[in-house]
Amino acid sequence: MYTFSDIADILQVTPVQAPHNPLIEMLLTDSRKLVAPESTLFFTIHSAGRSANPFVEALYEQGVRAFVVDESFHGMATCAEASFIVVPDVTDALQKLAKRHRVRFSLPVIGITGSNGKTVVKEWLYHLLNHSFQIVKSPKSYNSQIGVPLSIWQINNQHTLGIFEAGISQTNEMERLNAMIRPTLGVITSIGEAHASGFKNVEEKIDEKLRLFEGAHALIYGSNDPILRKKVSAYAHQHPGMKILSWGSHEDNTLCVLETITQGTTTAIHCRYKKALLHFNIPFADVASVSNALTCITVLLYLNIPESLIREHLHHLPVVEMRLEMKEGIQHCSVINDSYISDLTSLSIALDFLEQQHQHPKRTVFLSDIYQLRKDKDTTYRYVSALLNKKKIDRLIAIGDDLMQRRDWFAKIPETHFFPDTASFLKAYPQFTFQHETILLKGARVFGFERIVSLLETKTHDAIFEINLSALRNNLRYYQHQLRNTKLMVMVKAFSYGTGSFEIANILQHAKVDYLAVAYPDEGVELRQAGVRLPIMVMNTEEAGFANMVTYNLEPEIYSFRIATAWIRYLEARNITAFPIHLKLDTGMHRLGFEWNDISNVCMLLRESPQVKVQSVFSHLVGSENPSLDSFTKQQATWFNKMCDEIALVTGNSFLRHLGNSAAITRHPELRYDMVRLGIGLYGIDTRPEVAARLQEVGTLKTTISQIRMVKAGDSVGYNRAGRLTKDSTIATIRIGYADGYPRSLGNGNGQVYINGKMAPVVGNVCMDMTMVDVSGIDAREGDTVILFGPQYTVQNVASRAGTIPYEILTGISQRIKRVYYHE
């Protein structure tokens, strides 16, 4: 525990304002996660294009009285009872505090880095070692420059082992993480393509990751990667006092892997350690899980954990779910499934996600007993009670003896139900009604909440469209960083390019974008009914939608005199004035909009129409992504400027100007004006390789194999015998067809799908509900997952083979394909 003055001393600064000296227990960098205001210290860490200073006053009103700010903050006068520390760099101050806190404890610490598998190895080590140690670990993937100090802050005198992740995306980052984590044992997992854009090559990436282990006693890694083996060998030569332990198939490895035998969903591992033969079994069959398990085995052997205990606990290794999912539920519900891990930090994250959902008026939480306790049970559950009350939960269904014993602590929640175990709830399930609500399931794996999830989810066929909300946020942050002070309108028309409506809009609203744009009034109405409050521009306005436009405060695009006149008359009849409109100009697209010859009449109409107020004036670029059309793009900008200047003479230049789309944001920064319109780029698609490398593909379309059969050479597959075989082939039928949005043009070898690491070509014509693919030479079974497009095989690849553009593929995905939203 530290007082505010203790922290000022650690940071070597004198508080600028300190009427009180509060005891600080919690560090906060995200204002949404406030739980205990009186013992919280808030750090104003700014993000791309967004200052954290405005959150200080809001937190002060909620009871926070301790802040660390930089010199850009000028609001102390309005927070007279708060204590302030002013530093040059707030992130640096947070890390400095974490460093000092870490030094207070002499416990052994395992530091984990790598490209893939960090979180899985961390969670498995926790599972394998928590019987022998009191463990403190990184919550979820808290491995960044901000996540690591928040993880380190959890350490207290009860802990006997720390397990922390360290993630980097560019050079010169790891030194700071090393100074906070101070690992005594280092673990490096596999090296892959993740976050590769910040490095010249894989060698530079490994060198940077190895910097985490400065000062460690030992380093553990898998030696089957020749580049990693070479780099670790060089590192060991430079650090002769460090013990290097490796696993792999070479005889000189510390843990020599003699054989791995996969049968069904399990793998038997036969290996040798210090001349002794060891045998282990894990409940996984994939290569990545076997590698992660071997890393964990090597760590446990180094820590002198008996072989019998290792074998026993490996047999029960859990699936580490890296994501929180949201799916469509029964009776118009939304179901958020995070029933894989139960700790306070992940509970807070899940409740934050629940709070962002505005599509339903009611919020229900299923919660199990919490097994990963930071402190004693009473302190933990008082914290949980405060957290649920703050998030304004309407109904709590609590499962577990610990929660039942403390049911009175949750009395402020309007409706509560307590059960000793999941089976007891399932017996009572028919008594409950779930409709028009958002439901969060948060529980420890042992409670088996998947049985509840199966009751609450809608049942559809196996094809699903997964939407990675973390990737979407990454892409949004990239563009926000480019824009700085330029406003951002995001296009959510056509069901947000096929990815969903209110689900995506809620994320954008939470990220504080400035505007949304939809194609038709009905789309805007759906967003309003789902609780979206952002300004919404409607691009296709017709008289039949005027009533909804006014009722739901939707702002029309005005592109012709016919629409303008009809809209003004509608407003005039209802005595409405200054209703915001958006004028569309035609600068070369020749689709919709006013041309130069119309501008004088447009100005006259505006001058005589108090019923409307010009909110923005915009136009559409024809080929902003095409270098060969750059001269035409400049010509469009010239016409746009000229027409806007004429309109400004009437309106007083009070409107927003916007011309740039996704490609123009990066290719034509001079055309950003007051606002830009972000569309396909939000979903991870850009034609420029240097931009695409910074984006993440948001959508993955997948299905499963329905049936596999052998078909002889000379026979045919599909309608009209279009798929004639020249050799004996193994043909798989997959559950997706052109009625689901998989283009018929991909038939007869034009398309291919990704199955178990290999590409399988489409055979014959694509059917309405089914497609056949050739899986000859692929280890495929009925029920296996099939990727139509995703990070492994991009939507751009599919569009190219179909002779179209990614827009058409994404927007063509049928509504009967279930959307699953997840947050990593």
User: What are the catalytic residues?
Assistant: 493, 719
Q: Using DSSP, how many helices (H) and how many strands (E) does the chain show? A: 27, 39
Interatomic CA distance for residues 291 and 311, integer angstroms? 16
Cα distances from 117 to residues 89, 177, 321, 369, 823, in angstroms, run: 32, 18, 12, 28, 17
3-state class of 722 per DSSP?
Answer: coil
Q: Is residue 597 left, alpha or beta, with left meaning phi > 0 and alpha meaning psi from -120 to 50?
A: alpha
Distance of CA 366 to the CA centre of its chain: 22
570: Cβ–Cβ under 8 A, 6 or more apart, which residues? 543, 546, 550
**Do residues 690 and 697 touch, judged by C-beta distance below 8 A?**
no
Interatomic CA distance for residues 747 and 323, integer angstroms? 34
Q: Residue with structure tokens 């691009």?
A: 539
| Burial (CB count within 10 angstroms: exposed 0-12, middle 13-18, buried 19+), residue 459 | exposed
Interatomic CA distance for residues 698 and 684, integer angstroms? 6
Interatomic CA distance for residues 376 and 386, integer angstroms? 16
Spatial CA neighbour of 141 closest among 382, 1, 323: 323
CB count within 10 Å of CB 7 equals 22
Q: Residue with structure tokens 């008594």?
A: 431
Interatomic CA distance for residues 518 and 555, integer angstroms? 10
Strands 161-165 and 243-248: unpaired
| Burial (CB count within 10 angstroms: exposed 0-12, middle 13-18, buried 19+), residue 710 | exposed
| Burial (CB count within 10 angstroms: exposed 0-12, middle 13-18, buried 19+), residue 40 | buried
Interatomic CA distance for residues 234 and 239, integer angstroms? 9
- Of the chain, the end-to-end C-alpha distance in Å amounts to 31
Q: Residue with structure tokens 């301790």?
A: 66
Q: Is residue 162 left, alpha or beta, with left meaning phi > 0 and alpha meaning psi from -120 to 50?
A: beta
**Do residues 436 and 417 touch, judged by C-beta distance below 8 A?**
no
3-state class of 792 per DSSP?
Answer: coil
E strands of 47-137, at which residues?
66-69, 83-86, 109-113, 135-137
466: Cβ–Cβ under 8 A, 6 or more apart, which residues? 699, 700, 701, 702, 790, 819, 820, 821, 822
Interatomic CA distance for residues 319 and 124, integer angstroms? 9
Interatomic CA distance for residues 295 and 187, integer angstroms? 8
Strands 334-338 and 324-328: antiparallel
Interatomic CA distance for residues 212 and 122, integer angstroms? 16
Interatomic CA distance for residues 805 and 362, integer angstroms? 40
CB count within 10 Å of CB 476 equals 20
Interatomic CA distance for residues 282 and 266, integer angstroms? 6
Interatomic CA distance for residues 268 and 3, integer angstroms? 53
Interatomic CA distance for residues 661 and 618, integer angstroms? 11
Distance of CA 82 to the CA centre of its chain: 34
